[in-house]
């Protein structure tokens, strides 16, 4: 039995059985991600028809053993495909998700500050000069009154929506 260092020295040797199994499981995991994608995302990936059909069939299978075999089949089909495009697309989707999460945190942070601290309006106005500060103050005041009166948070939500229209989607 050869160890990894001997294989690294002689590239003519075929990959070990362990390495092949690891690559096969990685393709099956990617197949799982493909099955979890919605139809719009699948259309973006430009999949071969046979792989797309296998993915759609896997979505319909509920029995564990049958699903496992279908996932193995998807992994087998993916051995003949360059999966780097899929990996890049998954990475870009994750990046968009992270950016939108960060934006929501930024919006929530500003809403909390505006509701808690009157001086935050000055800082917000300097950072976003196009903002209608009078309208924001009104929404914040109304949100505080609604909370004190235990009413539905209509102005609280409106303040968030107003901040969404002011704060850009790109990172600051």
pLDDT, tens digit, 9 for 90 and up, residues 109-134: 999 999 998 899 999 999 999 889 99
Q: Which range has the worst mean pLDDT, 25-34, 80-89, 91-100, 134-143?
A: 91-100
Confidence band, pLDDT 50/70/90 cuts, at residue 9: low
Q: Give the model confidence (pLDDT) of 40-49 as tens digits.
A: 888 888 888 9
* Alpha-carbon distance values, 126 to 24, 119, 159, 160 (Å): 55, 11, 18, 19
Contacts of 102 (CB under 8 A, 6+ apart): 171
Which tokens sit at 55? 């993915």
How many other C-beta atoms are found inside a 10 Å radius of the C-beta of residue 39? 10
- pLDDT of res. 170: 58
Those residues with Cβ within 8 angstroms of residue 140's Cβ, 6 or more apart along the chain or in another chain: 114, 115, 121, 155, 159
Q: For the whole model, what pTM was predicted? A: 0.50
Which domains are delineated in the chain? 15-81 (1.10.60.30), 97-166 (1.10.60.30)
């Amino acid at each position: 039995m050869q160890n990894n260092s001997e294989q690294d020295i002689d590239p003519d040797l075929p990959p070990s059985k362990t390495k092949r199994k690891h690559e096969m499981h990685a393709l099956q995991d990617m197949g799982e991600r493909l099955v979890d994608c919605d139809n719009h995302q699948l259309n973006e990936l430009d999949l071969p028809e046979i792989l797309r059909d296998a993915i759609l069939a896997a979505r319909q299978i509920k029995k564990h053993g049958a699903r496992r075999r279908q996932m193995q089949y998807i992994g087998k089909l993916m051995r003949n495909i360059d999966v780097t495009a899929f990996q890049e697309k998954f990475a870009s989707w994750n990046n968009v998700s992270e950016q939108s999460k960060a934006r929501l945190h930024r919006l929530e942070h500003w809403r909390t500050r505006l509701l808690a601290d009157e001086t935050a309006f000055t800082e917000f106005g300097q950072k976003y000069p196009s903002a209608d500060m009078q309208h924001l103050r009104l929404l914040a005041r109304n949100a505080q009154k609604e909370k004190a009166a235990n009413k539905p948070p209509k102005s609280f939500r409106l303040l968030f929506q107003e901040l969404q229209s002011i704060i850009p989607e790109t990172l600051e």
